[in-house]
Amino acid sequence: MSVEGRFRSSVSPLPRDLREVADAVPFLAPSAPSSIAGATDSVGSGYSAFQQPPRFPETDEGHTMNVLAAPPRNGELGFWVQQLAAKKPSFPRFTGQDTVDVAIVGGGYTGLWAAYFAKKLEPSLSVAVFEAEQVGYGASGRNGGWLSAMPPGNRAGFARAGGGLEASRALQQEFVAGVDAVLDILRAEGIDADQHKGGALVAAHTRAGLGRLVTRRDADLKYGLTDDEVHLLGRDEFRSRINIATVHGGLFYKHCARIHPAKLVYGLADTLTSMGVRIYEGSRVDRVGGKTLALADGRVTAAKTFICTEGYSGQLLGSRTLIPVNSSMIVTKPLPKEAWQEIGWDGPQCLNDSAHTFIYAQRTTDGRIAMGGRGVPYRFGSGTGGAGATARSTIDLISHKLGSFFPGIPFEVDHAWSGVLGVTRDWNGGVLWDPAAGVGSSSGYAGHGVTAAYVGGRTLAELALERETERTTLPWVGYRARKWEPEPVRWLGVHAMYRLFGIADQWEERRGSTTTSLLARFGSRLAGLHE
């Protein structure tokens, strides 16, 4: 019987037997932290009330793997930025007064792509980018380096919002096309971002996880992907590509490319400079009102303003419009040739898994493994975490996840860091443009931001310059999610959701479940993740 046939029954209606919930309920009532605001993912913090200590993986001999020493570098905006510290472009701080045709708030991928396409569409425009810290300071310089075809949000939700199935299929196809479009632009502009299109593998470590991938593939086909673009892999076929010890099978997605995040953002910034776009660093925009941008040391008048601040949007878009959800990463020191031969990961495929608290990873061009996941998912009051210093507990969680993938392979963590991504209440991103006010935004990428920033930034420029394209009618244009709850409700809700997902993963692993945990299904529906 095929992989699909064996596991299609794994995703069933909600079970009548609720003993699973009863067994799990005690785990949902940990002692509260002495200070909610203090339960952050920062150096020196202990385990969050909603975070379990790591369960150390065992080798085939049953011995616990060595606990790794703390990495020599932690935070500092992350490995990608620090690797290019000597090559980072530098831009001046804005002072005084100015008038421009297009003002862009935010020097990450979205803002830079919006500037690129505004100048491409109308080269005579004066365009200026205002970045509060340095270009690539946020998620654009700290992400996992996935240029993927996954839209930012729930495709079923976009279909319900307007346009139906065909509108969501069009959105999916735009993101498929977006992967190659970005690669084509990088080639044309001479930007070397270590880009390589090798696809993405999704590993299932449990039978329940493999069942979810069967259902996920059904949804992918429904929304326009083809058998050639996403297909199921059995255990042996998966391990022939990456030799993960615990895998039951998985998916392979054709349309995904590995990139070096900082090389992409710096390459775009250099390209914009050559096009005549002015970029300012250390130039925080405190307020956008009418046609005026107020900065600490100046004022700018702009006919059109794009707000492209993603997880840092609270001050300009409202603290309940989207929240900064935390994600953390580690990168190993380069692995020796013998280790790579054992792992079998000999290409540029990106990697993640079907766990509810999933990981994402890539093999870097210099032979490292960069892996990300969740630690403390959200800081009280929408805190953004500064330069990304990461708690040892989170480093341990991700490190031991990596160790469980490849037991017996020694590795050292070279750098750990955290960053934030923008998440709306229903996890659906949106591109907004108000022609009367001359103000727009693109945000809410929920972890799928590398391609979404390209599509969103380009769409924003097209809307502002009154160009009708296949992008300006997509269902995420004009989409507004409902607002997040006020504090402390949203802190409790986000942490409870991730706690449910963590318990669900443990349940499925320990019980050998063939069906997705009731807790996980409840959490997914509560969060709006169910398609």
149 and 118 inside one domain: yes
Report the C-alpha gap between 483 and 497 in whole angstroms: 17
For residue 488, cis peptide bond before it (omega within 30 degrees of 0):
yes
SS3 letters across 36-102: HHHCCCCCCCCCCCCCCCCCCCECCCCCECCCCCCCCEECCCCHHHHHCHHHCCCCCCCCEEEEEEE
| pLDDT for the residue numbered 519 | 67
412 and 492 inside one domain: yes
Report the C-alpha gap between 400 and 527 in whole angstroms: 27
385 domain residue, yes or no: yes
Residue 59 neighbours by CB under 8 Å, 6+ apart = 65, 407, 408
Find, among 462, 470, 460, the residue nearest to 432 by Cα.
460
| pLDDT for the residue numbered 527 | 67
The C-alpha angle with vertex 239 and arms to 234 and 240, in degrees rounded to 5, equals 100
CATH number at residue 123: 3.50.50.60
| pLDDT for the residue numbered 324 | 96
337 and 447 inside one domain: no
CB half-sphere exposure, 217, CA atoms < 13 A: 26
511 domain residue, yes or no: yes
Bridge-based pairing of strands 439-443 and 298-307 is parallel
Would you give per-residue pLDDT tens digits along the chain (531 residues)? Answer: 554 554 443 333 333 333 333 233 322 332 222 222 233 333 333 323 233 333 333 333 333 343 356 678 999 999 999 999 999 999 999 999 999 999 999 999 999 999 999 999 999 999 999 999 999 999 999 999 999 999 999 999 999 988 899 999 999 999 999 999 999 999 999 999 999 999 999 999 999 999 999 999 999 999 999 999 999 999 999 999 999 989 999 999 999 999 999 999 999 999 999 999 999 999 999 999 989 999 999 999 999 999 999 999 999 999 899 999 999 999 999 999 999 999 999 889 999 999 878 899 999 999 999 999 987 889 999 999 999 999 999 999 999 999 999 998 999 999 999 999 999 999 999 999 999 999 999 999 999 999 999 999 999 999 999 999 999 999 999 999 999 999 999 999 898 888 887 777 777 677 666 666 666 676 677 666 666
101 and 210 inside one domain: no
123 and 234 inside one domain: no
501 and 368 inside one domain: yes
398 and 285 inside one domain: no
Residue 337 neighbours by CB under 8 Å, 6+ apart = none
CB environment 377-415: b (16+ within 10 A), e (fewer): bbbbebbebebbbbbbbbbbbbbbbbbbbbbebebebbb
| pLDDT for the residue numbered 504 | 73
289 domain residue, yes or no: yes
**CA dihedral for 92, 98, 100, 104, sign (positive or negative):** positive
Could you identify the residue written with the tokens 């905006």? 77
Facing residues of 422 across strands?
324
Using DSSP's 3-state secondary structure scheme, residue 299 falls into: strand
147 and 183 inside one domain: yes
494 domain residue, yes or no: yes
CATH number at residue 204: 3.30.9.10
Which tokens sit at 477? Answer: 């244009």
Facing residues of 251 across strands?
202, 232
Q: Which domain holds residue 114?
A: 90-190+260-321+436-464
477 domain residue, yes or no: no
339 and 412 inside one domain: yes
Residue 431 neighbours by CB under 8 Å, 6+ apart = 440, 441, 442, 456, 459, 460, 463, 474, 476, 477, 478, 479
195 domain residue, yes or no: no
Which tokens sit at 371? Answer: 């892996």
| pLDDT for the residue numbered 16 | 34
- C-beta atoms surrounding 526 within 10 Å: 13
SS3 letters across 434-497: ECCCCEEEEECCCCCHHHHHHHHHHHHHHHHCCCCCCCCCCCCECCCCCCCCCCCHHHHHHHHH
Which tokens sit at 57? Answer: 């993986």
Report the C-alpha gap between 84 and 261 in whole angstroms: 11
Report the C-alpha gap between 15 and 518 in whole angstroms: 7
232 and 342 inside one domain: yes
Domain count, the chain: 2
317 domain residue, yes or no: yes
List Cα–Cα distances, 64 to 57, 61, 220, 387, in angstroms. Answer: 6, 9, 39, 33
Report the C-alpha gap between 459 and 328 in whole angstroms: 29
446 and 390 inside one domain: no
75 domain residue, yes or no: yes
Length of the chain equals 531
231 and 355 inside one domain: yes
Spatial contact of 100 and 300, defined as CB atoms under 8 Å apart: yes
DSSP characters over 360-403:
EEEE-TTS-EEEEE-SS-B-TTT---TT----HHHHHHHHHHHH
| pLDDT for the residue numbered 3 | 47
CB environment 464-479: b (16+ within 10 A), e (fewer): beeeeeebbebbbbeb
